[in-house]
Structure 1
């Protein structure tokens, strides 16, 4: 029974991500989540204490789904430590995050909502800070070229590149985005 409840909770949180991406934070209601998940009305309210709980769990689920799989992590840890392999990893990152369009758009909605909800802001701040620190630590331990500032600059540049790609996809062509990732690595990652 617990497994079924966990599966139902995950399905509801995934439905919340879809609602956030499509309708924004104001459209995120228990009824909208129930409808998206195709469950009886009232189901979401049985799984989440309140809307803030649902928002918090949705943010955690987005990060869970954006995480690279174990084989990608292993490949990065044992891969070549040069600019070309670093650029390949950055392309994989941008492609992986961009391919979960609704998740990233939901995350943007959550960030906007966090400007009005201190508890959500605290959760997101802790999560983003932990991810950024983990990326810096991985980079420094891996022997890849570049330093802590390099990782932070690439993080900021690629986040906006992904926002551009998901919200206004015709501003830059796929070839331009590809060239920009290579240029960012070439200019920021010094031997």
Structure 2
């Protein structure tokens, strides 16, 4: 049952990433997932439930990506930038999930119940910030808690540039410059 739900949510992600939130319908998800008509309605009764299903899948995917991040107890700027850039690259491999998230953040602005889980209010986002705190602490950054929120925002902006193909950008260089500016002098 969970596999079917995940497959339907993934189909919804693909639809939103490719065609926008308006394309997210039960019939379209059924067709995209290659399941019998009406299958999606079992897991999501209405359009709002269907949107919530996709939002939840985005959070699940982020949690999966976050599980793979290993941070040693001590880091230099090069190592910290490498870890942050590798995480960014991992997030970017899930282009559909990231494109859908970016589209939904904009289109769901008036609906806090559905939009907020895609923002810092999501428990997975809190875990992401906690991971950034660990990275910055290993780097020796004072006030790592505040800087971690900024680092997550920077990674999010770099992800937007990569997914939306806004402009060519050397993410590693940007991250290294940012992290160099945070590091306390030896």
TM category (shorter chain) comes to 0.7 to 0.9
Unaligned 5+ residue runs, structure 1? none
- Report the CA distance between 1:88 and its aligned residue: 1.6
Q: Provide the TM-score with structure 1 as the length reference.
A: 0.82
For residues 117-154 of structure 1, what are the alpha-carbon distances to aligned partners after superposition, in whole Å with 9 as ceiling and x for unaligned? Answer: 232134334644x3443344345456322212221111
For residues 25-82 of structure 1, what are the alpha-carbon distances to aligned partners after superposition, in whole Å with 9 as ceiling and x for unaligned? Answer: 1111111101110111111112212111121121121122233264x34x32x45333
Q: Partner residue of 1:177?
A: 171
Q: Partner residue of 1:68?
A: 65
Q: Partner residue of 2:93?
A: 99
Q: 1:58 to 1:190 in 2, by over 3 A?
A: farther
In 2, Cα distance between the equivalents of 1:126 and 1:140? 15
Match of 2:153 among 151, 156, 170: 156
Match of 1:119 among 113, 122, 147: 113
For residues 70-99 of structure 1, what are the alpha-carbon distances to aligned partners after superposition, in whole Å with 9 as ceiling and x for unaligned? Answer: 4x34x32x4533323221210111101111
Q: Partner residue of 1:11?
A: 7
In 2, Cα distance between the equivalents of 1:134 and 1:190? 25
In 1, Cα distance between the equivalents of 2:109 and 2:73? 39
Q: 1:22 to 1:7 in 2, by over 3 A?
A: same
In 1, Cα distance between the equivalents of 2:133 and 2:66? 21
Instruction: Please give the root-mean-square deviation of Cα atoms over the aligned residues, in Å.
Output: 2.3
Q: Provide the TM-score with structure 2 as the length reference.
A: 0.84
In 1, Cα distance between the equivalents of 2:99 and 2:165? 12
- Report the CA distance between 1:106 and its aligned residue: 0.5
In 1, Cα distance between the equivalents of 2:80 and 2:127? 16
